[in-house]
């Protein structure tokens, strides 16, 4: 800092595109960068490009509320998300980059007796699936979360805590994977949009970009809310609807909240960042949109939900608000694997909850792109499930705001 940053070296090269790569990944978010890193580190590929139309981490990876958890219901999801959580637990060491992973626990509440039954069911499912989960009565919830309103509009009857859940610094996850991938020779190409595909006899042969054509016989799409746009360019459709999901932060305060809290009644959830801001998110803006901004009614109801849970925050000022475009699949489960075009792979459908999935998403996607076979942890997430009917309806775990 005192040197005016003059002695700092860039953490990754500003790569210019080559004419051909062994593998091209479209989208420099967490999933794209993690995929490139694991392709290089686990599968020995060296000739890889990540193509990003803006700047890396400028999509949802840099816009999310950073909640990491594995409180899913079905074994397929629980196994996958718990694997992701376990990769997060060692990620700072693996990447030699501090991602500020803070396992401060994540609470979710029940507000009526049906909610209590569902909560008990979730705790059972999580424990059977090997994830950590605790069930607590209301008095224990209030004891553990200081400042929580004891009589909110929707009463808190019980709580589910996942102690290993928490938050991480979102930018650091993108930057950590980028630096590690670059060190293994991956070309990270920013300000380059993929505008089309070169497809010959049903097989991918390359991509068209604003910086020229690039040949590759293995291409991965990891563009979140723009997955259906890319699919259309490749000539097929995806069961994805894109919505804006918004969040906001307050002005910074001294530490007041040492865990993550979610109230399903209002959809409001919050945590406190290391800078001291209260980070607040909520449900989707429920109309399809590619406009990267949230609407006022959702912001208003989220703020109302926040003040209901923590009335003392009513005097705190809002610092900024933003939104990202998320890719929602109708069974709230991601799509990971092959597309109708041979050699063109899909990593999408993370909806409101793909930040927590970045390590496992990248790991399994790299496995599929390198070997041509689905990783066992992700085999159930194929696009084919919309033909076979083997859907994994995780709406109760991920239908809310992350
Ligand atoms: P992105 O990070 O969006 O990366 C995709 C990239 O593709 C973008 O950088 C984009 O510029 C690029 N791209 C698009 N089209 C092209 C093209 N034609 N050519 C080249 N590049 C292209 N998840 C959680 O787990 N926990 C949370 O608490 C949470 N909160 C959220 C809160 C909000 C407000 C939002 C918006 C999302 C939240 N999510 C959360 C979801 C999470 O952020 C995403 O699921 C995740 O970041 C997706 O990562 P990604 O790498 O697939 O996508």
Nearest atom in ligand 1 to 225's CA: 3
User: What's the confidence (pLDDT) of residue 90?
Assistant: 98
What is the Cα–Cα distance from 402 to 400, expressed in whole angstroms?
6
Residue 401 reports pLDDT greater than 80:
no
Closest CA to 214 of 82, 57, 50: 50
The answer to whether 202 and 310 have CB atoms below 8 angstroms apart is no
- Spacing, Cα 136 to ligand 1 middle (Å): 33
Nearest atom in ligand 1 to 244's CA: 36
Per residue in 281-308, pLDDT (tens digit) is 989 998 999 999 999 999 999 999 999 9
Question: DSSP code of 19?
Answer: S
- Spacing, Cα 260 to ligand 1 middle (Å): 21
What is the Cα–Cα distance from 83 to 23, expressed in whole angstroms?
25
Q: Which residue's alpha carbon is at the smallest distance from atom 51 of ligand 1? A: 29
- Spacing, Cα 29 to ligand 1 middle (Å): 6
- Which residues approach ligand 1 with their CB closer than 6 A? 26-32, 51-54, 58-61, 63-67, 193-194, 222-224, 226, 245-247, 281, 323-324, 326, 350, 352-356, 402
2-6, 93-97, 205-209, 267-271: range with lowest mean pLDDT: 2-6
Burial of 8 (0-12, 13-18, 19+ CB in 10 A): exposed
Residue 333 reports pLDDT greater than 50:
yes
What are 177's two structure tokens?
């994977």
In this prediction, residues 52-61 reach a mean pLDDT of: 98
User: What's the confidence (pLDDT) of residue 1?
Assistant: 64
The answer to whether 347 and 339 have CB atoms below 8 angstroms apart is no
Q: How many Cβ atoms from other residues are within 10 Å of residue 185's Cβ?
A: 14
pTM of the model: 0.97
- Spacing, Cα 228 to ligand 1 middle (Å): 14
Give strand pairing partners of 24: 49, 219
In this prediction, residues 194-204 reach a mean pLDDT of: 98
The answer to whether 355 and 68 have CB atoms below 8 angstroms apart is yes
- Spacing, Cα 324 to ligand 1 middle (Å): 7
Percent of the chain with pLDDT over 70: 98
Quickly state the pLDDT bin for 46 (edges 50, 70, 90).
confident
Q: Which residue's alpha carbon is at the smallest distance from atom 48 of ligand 1? A: 354
Which residue bears the tokens 């990270």?
Answer: 188
Closest CA to 377 of 175, 50, 84, 9: 84
- Spacing, Cα 194 to ligand 1 middle (Å): 16
Specify the DSSP element, H or E, that contains 81.
Answer: helix 75-89
Quickly state the pLDDT bin for 5 (edges 50, 70, 90).
confident
């Amino acid at each position: 800092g005192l040197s005016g940053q003059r002695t700092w070296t860039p953490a990754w090269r500003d790569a210019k595109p080559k004419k051909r790569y062994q593998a091209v990944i479209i989208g420099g978010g967490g999933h794209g960068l993690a995929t490139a890193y694991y392709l290089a580190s686990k599968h020995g590929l060296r000739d890889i490009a990540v193509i990003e139309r803006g700047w890396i981490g400028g999509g949802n990876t840099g816009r999310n509320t950073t909640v990491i958890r594995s409180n899913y219901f079905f074994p397929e999801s629980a196994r996958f998300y718990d694997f992701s959580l376990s990769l997060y637990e060692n990620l700072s060491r693996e990447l030699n980059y501090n991602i500020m992973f803070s396992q401060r626990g994540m609470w979710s509440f029940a507000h009526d007796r049906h909610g209590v039954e569902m909560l008990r069911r979730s705790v059972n499912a999580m424990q059977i699936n090997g994830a950590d989960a605790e069930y607590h009565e209301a008095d224990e919830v209030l004891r553990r979360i200081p400042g929580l309103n004891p009589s909110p509009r929707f009463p808190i009857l019980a709580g589910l805590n996942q102690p290993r859940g928490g938050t991480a610094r979102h930018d650091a996850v993108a930057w950590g994977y980028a630096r590690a991938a670059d060190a293994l020779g991956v070309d990270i190409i920013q300000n380059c949009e993929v505008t089309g595909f070169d497809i010959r006899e049903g097989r991918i042969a390359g991509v068209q970009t604003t910086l020229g054509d690039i040949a590759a016989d293995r291409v991965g799409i990891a563009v979140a809310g723009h997955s259906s746009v890319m699919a259309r360019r490749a000539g097929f459709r995806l069961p994805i609807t894109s919505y804006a999901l918004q969040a906001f932060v307050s002005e910074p305060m001294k530490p007041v909240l040492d865990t993550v809290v979610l109230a399903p009644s209002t959809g409001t959830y919050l945590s406190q960042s290391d800078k001291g801001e209260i980070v607040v998110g909520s449900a989707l803006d429920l109309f399809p949109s590619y406009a990267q901004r949230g609407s006022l009614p959702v912001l208003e109801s989220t703020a109302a939900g926040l003040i209901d849970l923590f009335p003392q925050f009513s005097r705190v000022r809002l610092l900024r608000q933003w939104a990202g475009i998320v890719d929602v699949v109708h069974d709230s489960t991601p799509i990971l694997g092959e597309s109708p075009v041979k050699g063109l792979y899909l990593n999408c459908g993370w909806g409101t909850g793909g930040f927590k999935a970045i390590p496992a998403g990248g790991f399994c996607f790299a496995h599929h792109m390198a070997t041509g076979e689905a990783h066992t942890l992700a085999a159930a997430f194929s696009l084919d499930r919309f033909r076979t009917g083997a859907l994994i309806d995780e709406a109760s775990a991920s239908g809310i705001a992350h």
